[in-house]
Amino acid sequence: MADNKNIYSKLGVSSKKEDVHKAIEKLDKGLFPGSFCKIVKDVNNRKDYCSVFHADGAGTKSSLAYMYYKEIGDIDVFRGVVRDAIIMNVDDILCVGATDNMFLSNNIGRNSNNISGDILATIIDEYYSYSNKLTELGLNVIMCGGETADVGDVVKTVLLDASVFTSMKRAEVINAEDIQNDDVIIGLASSGKAIYEEEYNSGIGSNGLTLARHGILSHDYYNKYPECYDHSIDEELLFFGKYHLTDPLKGLNLTVGKALLSPTRTYSPILIEVLNKYRSKIHGIIHNTGGGQTKNLNYGRSIKYIKNNLFSLPQIFELIQNSSEIQWKEMFSVFNMGHRMELYCEEGVAKEIIKIATKYNVESKIIGHCEKSPDKNKNVVEINSEFGSFNYR
């Protein structure tokens, strides 16, 4: 591709979502304005409690699952994107320190011409099944039903979203506004096989899948799946990669399709144990979703985040960059690039947190530290990687 700059935005997606932030900048920020999720007064008006209601989803990853199903015929592929929709909510809420009962509702938008009743039944069943799995892992998730809408004029395949509600004690809130200039940053790896996972996880998560699938997958899919892309986008940006869904990945027991569809890893067992033991010592928790490694630009006050000890790059991200020739600076602003959860604390407690993650077979280490920002009105992220040094404001 001749111009490999800002491909994500050319595909109609923004990692920074400036227009969204502008639209909500004057709205009430809740009881803890700097927190990772908006926190409001308790639903039962208890003065020492507060409530959190959060919504998110699997994004365009569900379109990829549809393509994989049409190619392979494996209906269970939709279970993975249901997990994505759930975890994008649950792990966000864990970032504010909530660990008690969570009430989950699903929201499914489908095109019934492409998404059959059998697929729908599999999807709904997984919302319940994975809620039970999370409960077994120590986070009590109560499935409360949901809504399925046939919206073929709007959705060409399927859209999988969820909403989660919980309440917690105000004194136990983790507010990212409390991140300190001298904090270290602990990263929890996104790839590998945790003891509570059924198979190896590529680490892709649920963010950047529009860029990932078009940047990796061959133009052969352009005519085959016209329902899986925006027809207003230039054709050269649609499925411009080198690979097919069934191509094997070297050294891993995964195909390209399975790697792209690895379910978003939950860190709930790790975070629950960390919060039970060290809640008062945690200054902030950041879930590197939209914005990738630049997510923390939106949290803390006048902090310079220096990330100079990153994890080895998981193969899936190497594949995306090699196939699409996307610039590394954009890669770091779109994808998690190897770790999707960050904890901010003093260095003294970091070793104990790392021990907890290791117990669950999730690689963890100090990936950087915080300093005072050179711009007193802005946060700054500095990434020093094997692929270059990059600055973001």
What would the pLDDT profile of 288-301 be if each residue is shown by its tens digit? 999 999 999 999 99
| C-alpha to C-alpha distance for 368 and 362, rounded to whole angstroms | 18
pLDDT value at position 393?
Answer: 93
At 301-315, the pLDDT tens digits run 999 999 999 999 999
107/129 Cα distance (integer angstroms): 16
Confidence of residue 92 (pLDDT cuts 50, 70, 90): very high
pLDDT tens readout for residues 29-77: 899 999 999 999 999 999 999 999 999 999 999 999 999 999 999 999 9
pLDDT digits 0-9 by tens, 332-346:
999 999 999 999 999
- pLDDT computed for residue 354 by the predictor: 98
State residue 2's pLDDT score.
Answer: 47
Tokens of 262: 């690895």
Q: What is the pLDDT of residue 250?
A: 87
Whether 193 contacts 201, CB under 8 Å: yes
- Would you list the domain boundaries of the chain? 7-392
The domain 7-392: what is its CATH number?
A: 3.90.650.10
16/182 Cα distance (integer angstroms) = 26
Percent residues over pLDDT 70 in the chain: 96
Pairwise CA distance, residues 199 & 193, whole Å: 6
The confidence band for 126, taking pLDDT boundaries of 50, 70 and 90, is very high
Amino acid identity, position 163: S
DSSP element (H, E) containing 54: strand 49-57
